Chain A
Amino acid sequence: MAGDDDVLVRVENLVKYFPVKAGGLFRHTVGHVHAVDDVSLIIERGKTLGLVGETGSGKSTLARCVAGLIPVTSGRVTFDGREITKLSRGAMRPLRREVQMIFQDPYSSLNPRRRVGSIIGDPFAIHKTATGSERKRRVQELMERVGLNPEHYNRFPSEFSGGQRQRIGVARALALRPKLIICDEPVSALDVSIQAQVLNLLSDLQKDYGLSYLFIAHDLEVVRHVSDKVAVMYLGRVGESGPKDALYNRPRHPYTVALLSAAPAADPDAAAARQRVILTGDVPSPIDPPPGCRFHPRCPKAQPLCAREEPQLVLSAADEAAADGEVAAPGPATAGTVGGDAHLTACHFPVAVGENLASAAASREFA
């Protein structure tokens, strides 16, 4: 149960729209990309919140808002009890030490013209915390900590492999001993064999330094491996969230079910036995999201109600009871909040345990 002291980050009703401009001489706004639309969540101290979704679901935008890299359209982000959404760049500076990011592309996230020592030492230089030989010593410590050879201090990023480059990124993020590290698809660009090494490094560091992670990925298995709580995003909204096991074992949102059924299973027998829910159509444009439930145009269970009324993120009491009390009723601090202990779903007709969605999809197609 998460009390207020256990919450490191609290996001309330966060909205981020990007204007879409047109015209040559007199540019004017013709619409908005609804990247993040009314999302609230919490990240608990020392825990990992996994954020899953397709490309364009707004998860990276959400991460950048939490990191204070882009201004929010509306809503609040509170870090460690301080609201950070309206801080000036100068006032943000101390906060930069507490929140760090690890980026997706290990090739473009390291400046190719700078030596590794200078890249990892950058945080020290920017915040003037260490200079000269002291900086070099600390950089080499960091390199050793993330599994790099400290003698490679003077090398350039191009002389490292993808996995090693990502370790450099981790070392850079770790330099200032932050409280929160936002991992934006940190292993998506890596070979599978290397992914596990980097993921293990991240969880070791979490144990050693008490880090909190906001972990973004589109690979469900990766998220399951590292996360305590998981939230599924679709078109700028959270569709379902909850503790990892509850969400993976008893997914209730049809979208989550579809995602899970699409993930490759390690066991060939299990893979053959399970039902595949194939989603039809493309993700609708975030400039003009569908009314009602945003998933309804692609949902196998969609009813007329889904197109009319937007479902709220709620706890399904009946379902919780069926889970024979595995999760107790949430405390007041995290009641109804994504990232807390509750298993929440935004769906008018949640999928019941054992329900066959694949046949629902098929019957809908023939109807």
Chain B
Amino acid sequence: MAIVGYLVRRILTGIVVVWLVATAAFFLFFARPVITVARELAGRAATPQVITEVISNLGLNQPIMTQYWHFLDGLLHGDLGYSYYTQESVNTILKQDLPPTISLVIGGTILWLVAGLSVGIISATKARSLFDRVSSVAVLVGLSMPVFVIGELLILVVFLPLNEHGITWIDTGYSGPTSGLSSFFGHMLLPWITLAAVQAAVYTRLSRGQLLDTLGEDYIRTARAKGLSERRVLFRHAVRAALTPVVSQLGVDVGQLLGGVVVVEIVFGLGGVGQASVEAVEQDNLPVIIGFVIIAAVFVVLANLVVDMLYAALDPRVRIT
């Protein structure tokens, strides 16, 4: 089966990519002298002996290649090492912090695609209408705003006034879906909007442009001439063809999405993997940083695989080989 061979090949290249990323991250962080790490860990008044002890405890005095092999060996066994500070397993840390991140990514992506594509399609079918003009302006504003500014403005304009009037349903911080769906949505609504806003703008613009181009094609005119209903022409013929470039853009944006996740988690104090990794970076907590980088790489590889499959499903000219 061609599809099985394709999947195997993609997964193999995916593993190579993850390995390259992990290796790059590993060596990159060793560009920083270990002594600074140890000094920070040992506290301000540490004696040289304590520092040496810390270094040897962490295994940082071994030759770098030995440490690298050790790291790779652990990686193969699914072991990402232990936090320098708490001695907690990195796996545990990531597991704890994943739920807010996953909630954010899934909800945000759904909102972003639904909003982006539907506004784009409506704008294209009603080109130069009031709706189109307003959405075009909104798109440009969205494109021009950093994620954190949108988040801050939402807090300033939505969260604070509501809170002042005693409406506390919309809240910052994280509350898992197990402790009440309503509270979950209340906590996630603003983060989702923030994460989706910029991306939705990109997709509105892209899908509108693509659809406008497609609607000018001869085969659309043919479909209309055959007497198909406008709805059928739009959804069976035009949207399908216009969506393929949109889907390929999706693969590029997965990385961007993760960046947005970090910022949104910090602005709303969600405490997910992104926030944890920024904290880890500030503390030079190497194992946690590398753990996050690897998770991110795996996510990017998997997401790209899904996108490519989707692409092949949408565009009959693309064959999976």
Contact = CB atoms under 8 A, between A and B. Distances in A.
Q: Do A and B come from one complex?
A: yes
Nearest to B6: A24
A137 B265 CA distance: 69
A25 B320 CA distance: 12
A23 B9 CA distance: 14
Interface string B278-321: 00000000000000000000000000000000000000000001
B7 to A, nearest CB: 14
A23 B319 CA distance: 11
A228 B9 CA distance: 60
Interface residues of A, number: 3
Contacts of B321: 23-24
Interface SS of chain A: helix, strand, loop or mixed?
loop
A24 B312 CA distance: 15
A250 B157 CA distance: 91
A25 B13 CA distance: 12
A152 B321 CA distance: 54
Interface string A17-31: 000000111000000
A23 B321 CA distance: 8
Contacts of B9: 25
A308 B321 CA distance: 40
Interface residues of B, number: 2
Nearest to B13: A25
Contacts of A25: 9
A27 to B, nearest CB: 12
A24 B308 CA distance: 15
A24 B9 CA distance: 12
A273 B9 CA distance: 67
Nearest to B319: A24
A25 B8 CA distance: 14
A303 B321 CA distance: 45
A155 B9 CA distance: 54
A182 B321 CA distance: 43
B226 to A, nearest CB: 30
Nearest to B9: A25
Nearest to A24: B321
B24 to A, nearest CB: 24
Contacts of A23: 321
Interface in B1-36: 9
Nearest to A22: B321
A25 B9 CA distance: 10
Nearest to A25: B9
A199 to B, nearest CB: 36
A24 B319 CA distance: 11
B321 to A, nearest CB: 5
Interface in A2-27: 23-25
B6 to A, nearest CB: 9
A24 B321 CA distance: 7
A22 to B, nearest CB: 10
A176 to B, nearest CB: 44
Contacts of A24: 321
A21 to B, nearest CB: 14
A25 B321 CA distance: 9
A276 B321 CA distance: 49
Nearest to B320: A24
A25 B12 CA distance: 13
A24 B318 CA distance: 12
Interface in A21-49: 23-25
A23 B5 CA distance: 14
Nearest to A23: B321
A24 B13 CA distance: 14
Interface in A232-287: none
Interface string B128-165: 00000000000000000000000000000000000000
B309 to A, nearest CB: 16
A23 to B, nearest CB: 8
A341 B321 CA distance: 55
A24 to B, nearest CB: 5
A4 to B, nearest CB: 55
A100 B321 CA distance: 44
A23 B2 CA distance: 13
B50 to A, nearest CB: 54
A227 B207 CA distance: 55
A25 B5 CA distance: 12
Interface string A78-104: 000000000000000000000000000
Interface of B: 9, 321
3 contacts: A23-B321, A24-B321, A25-B9
Interface of A: 23-25
Which 3 A-B residue pairs are closest in the complex by CB-CB distance?
A: A24-B321, A25-B9, A23-B321
